Every structure is written in C-alpha cells, then in structure tokens.
Structure 1
Amino acid sequence: MPRAAVLGSPIEHSLSPVLHNAGYEAAGLAGWDYTRFETTAEGLPDLVETSDPDFVGFSVTMPGKFAALRLADSVSDRAQLIGSANTLVRRADGWFADNTDTEGVRGALAELLGDEPVGHALLIGAGGTARPALWALAERGVTNVMVLNRSDRSAELLPLAYELGLELSFAGFDKDLSALSRAADVIVSTVPAAALEDYVFDIAHAPVLDVIYDPWPTPLTTCAAANGHKTIGGHVMLAHQAFSQFEQFTGVAAPREEMLEALNEELRRRSQTSY
C-alpha cells in the first residue's frame, strides 16, 4: 500500500493529511494513505532512512527542512538555491529533495494578483519562509524588494537575491512604515500575527499575502481589506505547495479543486470548534 507522511514538530494539527488524503480519494488512488510523524531535525534522517519501502515520499515542515536537504541523494536546483527542502521523494537511486514552498507562494500570489504586473514588493520577515517568497517574487517579475525585519539579515539574503536577479533593500520597524507599504505593489508577510500587532495600521496599504492561516483572518489582512485591498492567507500557499508534492509522490495530476475544498472545510470546522 503506497504511503506518504508529513514530518516535523509540532505536527499534531498539520493540515497536510487533509489535503493529500482528499486528493487520493478524488483521484481514485485506492489504498493510498497519508499520515504524520512527530520528529525533531536530529531524528528526521533516521526516520526517513529506515522507513518502510511503502513510503513513497515525505512532506517536511519545521524544524526538519535543513536536515531533509542534507540527507538527500539528489536535490532540485531550487531547493539547492534556497538552502532547504520541504519534500522528499523516494527514487530508485535514493531520496530526492525539492522545495515546493516556492510553488506555494507563487500560486498564492497568482490568486491574489491575477495578471496584474508587479515591480516592487514589501517582504516582512527574513526567516525560512522569506527565501521561497523571494524565489516566487522573482518568478512573478518583481525586481525590487524591501525587506522589513527587526534585525539585519542582509548577509543571509543578498546572495540569494543576486542569483534571482532581485534588488534588495532593508529596513527596521523604526522607519516610515506607511510610506514603505504605500510604495509596494504587494506585501508578503512571513511573521507571526502577534509580531505585527503594533504596526498593522501603518503597513496595511497594499494587497497582502499573509502566510499565517491560524488564526485567520490576521489583523494585517483585516486592516488591509478594510483599506480596500485584496488579501490572501497561508492556507492557499499550503494548498499550492501540496499540489506539487502530491504529483511528485503519485505521478498523477493533483485534483486541486477537491483538495482545496477539503482544506477549506477543515478550516471552517476548526474555527467553529475553537469558540
């Protein structure tokens, strides 16, 4: 019986099983199953390398994305460029690592912006998700990115920006945030909602992709929507990164509509039971 799983910690509330199992059912992949395993970065290599041959692939969330890249026998160009992997696929010659977070951000941006041209972006945060976000922004045709972060992470991001052909600028939260956001064609926030609590009214002056989806909506997206801007959440990014994983694991086109419907239904259920 072919199987796949998501690996990480904490993993209990991962929505990946909802997406993938809905996809298996919709695609008629009888007997396929997708589960979850709690593991640290240190424990991930042993778990993967001793896994039952039935496991065709693994989705990897934090804190295991760097470990996943290191253990792989072969690596996609984009995973190598970004420096981490969220996807491991079992092949005849060993484990192949990819980073489909790139497609997650790209797909979310497409739903947010349609065909609208974008030249300048405001990227909030400089952590792990910022790197696939830069990749997706470059794919989108963005040329200039202002990185808003509490600390100076320029040394980490500038080499990637150079490879992507992006011009990066950097600012802290002591700058004129209203001016920075109004100069942007799109805002991508990769930080927890609480980190922006004191700044949302200054920042929310452009279309927003907020990678957070729990809780949803975030204060930033609520404020941006009130200002007349379109917003989109991390659940859309999650779905788009899962579509590519599904196809790499199964060799079958992802039934996107059914997978997204299952995800939205689970999010509705969770929001109702949280009160």
Structure 2
Amino acid sequence: MGADGGPVGPEGPRSAAVLGHPVDHSLSPVLHGAAYRALGLAGWTYERIDCDEAMLPAVVDDSPGHRIGYSVTMPGKFAALEHASVVSERARIVGSANTLVRRNGGWFADCTDVDGVTGALAAFGDLPASPSAVVLGVGGTARPVLAGLADMGATQVVLASRRDNSGPAADCGRELGLEVTTVLLGDASLPAAIADADVLVNTVPEPGIRELVDLVSRSHRLFDVLYDPWPTAAGAVAAAAGIPVVGGDVMLLNQAFGQVELFTGLPAPRDEMAAALAEALGR
C-alpha cells in the first residue's frame, strides 16, 4: 500500500482477482492481464475466484498480502458494498460495488460500472448534451445506467419494467437529479416515449428481450448492456433497421479502465485493452 494509503504502485509483484458465481465466463482476466503487460508490471497476476455473495466477506478478509483489489460481478456486488470500510458516493447512490481496492487496512468500494455506461454512451459520438432516455428493465444494472446518464447530462428518463417494481431504481434516479417516469413494458405510451427519446437502453436479459424487440425499431440509438452472443436480439433488430448500436462490450471495456487505474495508480492502456477484448470476442 502506498504511503498515502492509496493503491500500491507498480513496484513489486501484486495480484487482483474477479469474484463472481459463476465466474468462468468472465473476461476481466483478459482485460487486466493485457493492461498489466502493457504497463510493464512484471509479476502482477489476475485470477478468477468462484464466490457468491455469502462467501464474499470471508474471501476478501482472507486475501493474501499481495492482493491489491477485486473486480466483483454478480451476485456479489451488493455484498461488496456492504463489506467495504469506505464507499464512493456513486457506489452509495447506485447501491452496489463492482470494485474493491485495499486501502488503509480496509477496503474501498467503487462502482466503475458508471464509467462503463458513460463510455458506451460517448461511443455514439452524436448524443446531445442533455440526452433523453428510455431504460428497459429495473434490475441491478439499471442503476449504474441511470448514474451514467446523469453524468452525461441527462435530466429526463423513462424507466420501463415488466412488473410494478421500479421503485428502488426510480429512487436512485431521483437522487441523481433525474426526472424519472415509470411505466410498465406493456404500457401503450411506451412506443411513443422510445420514439421521442435520444437513446434506448436495454438491460433486460435474453430471452426476455426477445418479446420486446418491436420496441427497438422505434429507437434512434440503442445501447444494449448485453454483448455475448453478439448480435443480441435487440442489437440485430436495430442493425437491420439502420439504428446505431453500442453493445455491452463497450461498457465492459470502459468499466475495466477505471478498475485498472484504481488497482495500479497508473493510466489504463486503453488501446491494448480494447485490442485484447476484441480478440477474445473474435471481433
């Protein structure tokens, strides 16, 4: 650990890992491994650890001395936030953490998923300064999406859910300063809302989104947080209609940039990480 209590610098072997269940599919080792090689961090390693939310506190507490941080995927993001000794403001508002960094004898929690969202939205290249959005789904990913939209200058968001369970996500959006309207996915007003919005964001997993792809054709831009297999059901419809599409791989890449910088204290080697992810996805 550095003298200021921040992340350990590039000197000496260090390790990080991704926690999740299941975790075999995680591409985080590809991204972080490419970063460490590009940064010349000899001896730095990154591994996968199969760990559910109940196991997470014990795994983190038993971390070896060389372990500088963790990427956290589902289902452990809520447990990671609760277990941290210090929490970033955005992680508190979103209510989950995808990043744990060893600091001052404890663990700092952050949500770089928000950076993933802003990076994905920026990839369109032509979003207005205050974009309006419709978000399909109100699960755990919807809240970082709302935070990313707020960071991009959005002020109005429509949240569409299958059931009347949008309250926590809507409360998160309002704390972020967004004007949030909630509707059901079957609401007659939703197609017009999508047509009026600058961007449609899909957080509904497949196969659920397959029942809703008719909505996609009404959008001006689609950001689908899913990415594998690609194209997704929604992405295929958008591409066929000539609608600009950004996939969840762009979110994955951009959230990893922030993690690498928190772990190493160095600027993320973005080009090398992007090339490694493209190779891993066969794109």
- In the TM superposition, residue 155 of structure 1 has moved relative to its aligned partner by 2.3
For 1:189 and 1:256, the matched residues in 2 are separated by: 25
> Are the equivalent residues in 2 in contact too, given 1:23–1:255 (CA < 8 A)?
yes
Structure 1: where are the runs of 5+ without partners? 270-275
- The aligned residue for residue 32 of structure 2 is 20
Give the stretch that moved more between structures: 156-165 or 26-35.
Answer: 156-165
For 2:204 and 2:166, the matched residues in 1 are separated by: 17
> More helix per residue: 1 or 2?
1
The DSSP-based 3-state class of the residue aligned with 2:100 is strand
Q: From 181, 184, 187, give the equivalent of 2:194.
A: 181
Identity %: 50
Structure 1 ranges of 4+ moved more than 4 A: none
1:161 aligns with 2:151: no
1:190 aligns with 2:203: yes
> Are the equivalent residues in 2 in contact too, given 1:206–1:224 (CA < 8 A)?
no
- In the TM superposition, residue 175 of structure 1 has moved relative to its aligned partner by 2.1
- The aligned residue for residue 112 of structure 2 is 100
| TM-score normalised by structure 2 residue count | 0.91
For 1:128 and 1:165, the matched residues in 2 are separated by: 19
Q: From 244, 256, 259, give the equivalent of 2:258.
A: 244
RMSD of aligned residue pairs (Cα, Å): 1.4
- The aligned residue for residue 23 of structure 2 is 11
Alignment of 1:1-275 (within 5 A): 1-114=13-126, 116-176=128-188, 177-204=190-217, 205-268=219-282
Give the stretch that moved more between structures: 23-32 or 153-162.
Answer: 153-162
- In the TM superposition, residue 194 of structure 1 has moved relative to its aligned partner by 1.4
> Are the equivalent residues in 2 in contact too, given 1:89–1:97 (CA < 8 A)?
yes
Amino acid aligned to 1:227: A
1:3-40 Cα distance to aligned partner (Å, 9 max, x none): 00000100001000000000111111111111110011
The verdict on how the C-alpha distance between 1:115 and 1:183 changes in structure 2, with shifts beyond 3 A counting, is closer
| Count of aligned positions | 269
The DSSP-based 3-state class of the residue aligned with 1:134 is helix
Amino acid aligned to 2:204: V
The DSSP-based 3-state class of the residue aligned with 2:169 is helix
Amino acid aligned to 1:193: E
Amino acid aligned to 2:107: W
Structure 2: where are the runs of 5+ without partners? 1-12
> Are the equivalent residues in 1 in contact too, given 2:139–2:169 (CA < 8 A)?
no
> Are the equivalent residues in 1 in contact too, given 2:220–2:243 (CA < 8 A)?
yes
For 1:80 and 1:168, the matched residues in 2 are separated by: 19
For 2:29 and 2:224, the matched residues in 1 are separated by: 22
For 2:277 and 2:187, the matched residues in 1 are separated by: 38
> Are the equivalent residues in 2 in contact too, given 1:66–1:85 (CA < 8 A)?
yes
Amino acid aligned to 2:121: L
Amino acid aligned to 2:225: V
| TM-score normalised by structure 1 residue count | 0.94
1:141-194 Cα distance to aligned partner (Å, 9 max, x none): 111111111012232123222221111111222223432321110011111131
